Amino acid sequence: MRFDLASEWRLSCSRKGIPEIPVQLPGDNYSALLDSGLVPDPCIGLNENAVQWVHECDWTFAKEFELEPEFLASKVIFLNIDSIDTFGEIRINGGFAGRSENMFSRFRADVKKLLKPGLNRIEVLIKSPSRRALEESRKQPFELVSLKFMNSVPHMNLIRKVQCHGGWDWGITLVGSGLYGNIYLEGVENVRIEHVYTVQTHRADRCTVDVTAELLAAEAGETDVEFVFNGETQKRQIAVQKGKNTAGASFEVEHPVLWNPAGYGEQNLYTLKVSSRGETIEKKIGLRTIELVTEPDENGVCMKVRVNGTDIFCKGANWIPMDCLPRNYTRENYRKLLTAARDANMNMLRAWGGGLYENEDFYELCDELGILVWQDCMFSCSQYPSSREFLELVKGELEYQVKRLRDHASIAFWCGDNEVALGLRWGAPEHRLRDVGNYERLNYVIETAVLENDPTRQFWMSSPCGGPLDYDFSLLHGDTHSWEIWSGCKPFSAYYDIVPRFCSEFGFQAFASMNAVRRFTEGKDLNMTSPVMEHHQRRPGADAKILPMFAHY
């Protein structure tokens, strides 16, 4: 039994004397302030500078709601918030319900003792992320290098939050706070389904699908679990102990219709349903084999993705967060962008490590459209802490995210980070040994957490890298980020001389479309040297590279 809390809440900030204003959740503080006319649109003109005070403040999200006695009769009542961005303290009717330290981890806690019949009030106090990042910087035993021109808000690498919120060389600085995803109370009599996952074993014209349901029981007892797949129903009655339990079923699929990447066949998806005590989890499962192949050959060591025994020519791009305001992460917008990628003959996107683990809409649509996902873990272009406390946050984050995503047919493999191994070159040479040790401590925890929760896929250390513990960035093995044309101001024809084994990132910056330019300049300041145009150019020295290329071609 669920009580949905995703609706209109109230947002306030005592530091700025902002009384309670409406905020639609899931959502963020910038969107609410924009809707209430308290801040200008940060994407227009120089407005971005005028809204930076927001991330320096603490914000309270609050809601009043009424509960019936019948709901409160449940043995356990969980509060579920898929993502709290980022440092939140949750209170219900004045009582402490828990706190969040990581926006990539789900918050779930038993709050039954804090609830009452009739009117209730929930408050989520979210602390300033930039002030918390500064506090964390003072605790570090040595400097953890990050690219200063990327993040205009420093020390973002010390907190578990979307890294590009602090600015990047392609985007705005908007360090928001909010609550995202599913937000609800859930009453449970005894057993609830925590996760469902599958393991496929393929043989000639046959596939065995083993299904496991992870169950959480409030007390010892018995429960029924029903599994439905490919027209077949299997029922299990199991004894459960208090805490975590599992139930399983196995299905044989004769002559399976396989899932394929775009351009290589159909994207067939089977429906899986797992039910217990009136709760049902439904998933779409694509049957396929997938592997990351790295084998010696006449040119070094290959790197390629093989699906259903066929080597895939991967064509695609990096996927970054689609918008600076999370409320715009709608299924409609995902479908528009992902369909455009598919229609442009892309069949792979690298979910870039400076962004976020996307929501279910993204991965479901990639499954549907046949777009493979190279899934980075969310670390990018910086050194990160390897303290026990930080590593525990990382373990919890990956346990949740990998279990959430592992059944999507589109996910090809997991990658530890974006340019963190490469970034070891950015520190002082005399600290290289220390920095490598610090990195390997973190990367080991990432790899272990990923493979423990998804043994069906392979793990790639970093992008780019030459392979496990291989810091030799070579065109002969591993993946490559090819920026020689951009950084060296070479003609595009020079790409013919660059032949990597797998090019996971390359490009050349372009000016924005005229529609975009007219929008953010409001039709004024169209000269590229105007303050507005220069403000929206985030890469130092970029215009000096683009103009000669225009002149050349």
- Would you name the residues annotated as active-site residues? 419
* Residue 320 exposure: Cα atoms within 13 Å on the Cβ side: 16
The answer to whether 60 and 87 are in contact (CB under 8 A) is: no
CA of 15: how far to CAs of 57, 58, 254, in Å? Answer: 7, 8, 64
H or E element, residue 64: strand 59-67
Measure the CA–CA gap between 302 and 54, rounded to whole angstroms: 48
Report the length, in residues, of the chain: 553
Cα 404 to the chain's mean position, in Å?
A: 11
Measure the CA–CA gap between 247 and 539, rounded to whole angstroms: 52
Measure the CA–CA gap between 201 and 192, rounded to whole angstroms: 28
The answer to whether 22 and 36 are in contact (CB under 8 A) is: yes
* Residue 297 exposure: Cα atoms within 13 Å on the Cβ side: 12
Measure the CA–CA gap between 268 and 280, rounded to whole angstroms: 22
Which amino acid is it at 105? S
Coil/strand/helix, residue 298 = coil
Helices 360-369 and 331-343, interaxial angle, to 10°? Answer: 30
Which amino acid is it at 544? A
Closest-CA residue to 86 (of 187, 10, 165, 7): 165
Joined together, the tokens standing for residue 505 give 């990132």
CA of 395: how far to CAs of 53, 105, 344, 353, 440, in Å? Answer: 32, 10, 37, 16, 15
Q: Which residue has 């985030």 as its token pair?
A: 538
The answer to whether 338 and 362 are in contact (CB under 8 A) is: yes
Bond from prior residue into 141 cis (ω within 30 degrees of 0): no
